[in-house]
A and B are shown apart, each in its own frame.
Chain A
Amino acid sequence: MKKIVALFCGVLFGTGLMLSGLADPAKVIGFLNVSLMLSGEWDPTLLFVMSGGLAVYLPLYLLVVKPRAQAKLGPVFDKCYHLPSKRAIDAPLVIGSALFGLGWGMIGICPGPSIVNLAHLDLPMVLFVVAMIAGAYIGRQMNRTLPLTASSRQ
């Protein structure tokens, strides 16, 4: 059942990415490139994506998941919620997020849309995903070996 739920949630999530425009690199760049404000061509619509997502996620988390997790209750199909346990705002978090932002702004693709767009098997997207997996592998090894990040895997 967990796997059917995961598949269904993946379809919902991916459809949302497509509908919102987040899966379209040109749209993402049109949002991130704020210099377009000067010419009046800046596209703010992606702000609405995050707003829509949070409008659903935040209240249900606060009203259902958080109280249940505090009462040691679990989700429907598992014994407990698998929530991140890290709290520290540390160097790996900031440096990693900065590197991710740098890469995201270059092309306009982040991990979710890369997988959604992979369905078309276009060569550029395949290359991007292969490079992304290579980067993730390097990052994983760094997390394991560098003392700074050794304890910070989620």
Chain B
Amino acid sequence: MFSSYVIALCGGVLVGLGAILLLLLNGRIAGISGILSGALWGSDDSKTQAKGLGWQWYFLGGLLLSGAIMGAPLEAIFGLAPIELSSVSQSTPLLLISGVLVGLGCAIGSGCTSGHGICGVGRLSPRSIVATLVFMVMGIISAVVFH
């Protein structure tokens, strides 16, 4: 019904909209690794933060909510197949090593696909452009080796 390229492009537009609205309205960067770390351990500028859950928890809640409620409508409208996670569950050690590397790498490298790849490249930040090139190349090498 819809070309897979058009669907992917629309998905990207939604991701970009979510990210730029967070910046336009709240002045925040939509980097998921940074938001997760900020939610769990506070961000560096959070000393003056108001009581209660930080804004980061609400953004993460939004991500969870989309995962919980949007699967069925997207399947009905765009014919998207439900996400099959069995491909990731075949090797638990690999899953755990991958998780640790993703968490560690994003913490040391100050960002992930969203923070560097969309928000950073979208600000033409040289740091983020370098980071994105590095994790894309490493991701390609790793995927070729492991699959």
Contact = CB atoms under 8 A, between A and B. Distances in A.
Contact of A33 (B17, B24, B88, B143): B143
A127 B95 contact: yes
Interface in A28-65: 29, 32-35, 45-46, 48-58, 60-62, 64-65
B36 A111 contact: yes
Say what secondary structure dominates the interface of chain B.
Answer: helix
Say what secondary structure dominates the interface of chain A.
Answer: helix
A82 B27 contact: yes
Interface string A3-14: 111111111111
Contacts of B102: 100, 103-104, 109-111, 114, 132, 135
Nearest to A64: B24
Nearest to A53: B16
A150 interface: no
Contact of A100 (B30, B88, B97, B135): B135
A98 B105 contact: yes
Nearest to A111: B32
The list of the 6 closest CB pairs from A to B, nearest first, reads A10-B62, A52-B12, A96-B109, A139-B107, A20-B11, A135-B103
Interface of A: 2-26, 29, 32-35, 45-46, 48-58, 60-62, 64-66, 74-78, 80-84, 86-89, 92-112, 114-120, 122-125, 127-140, 142-143, 149, 152-154
20 contacts: A5-B26, A10-B59, A13-B62, A16-B15, A19-B80, A24-B83, A46-B8, A50-B121, A56-B17, A61-B20, A84-B29, A88-B127, A98-B105, A103-B101, A111-B33, A112-B112, A119-B66, A119-B67, A124-B95, A131-B100
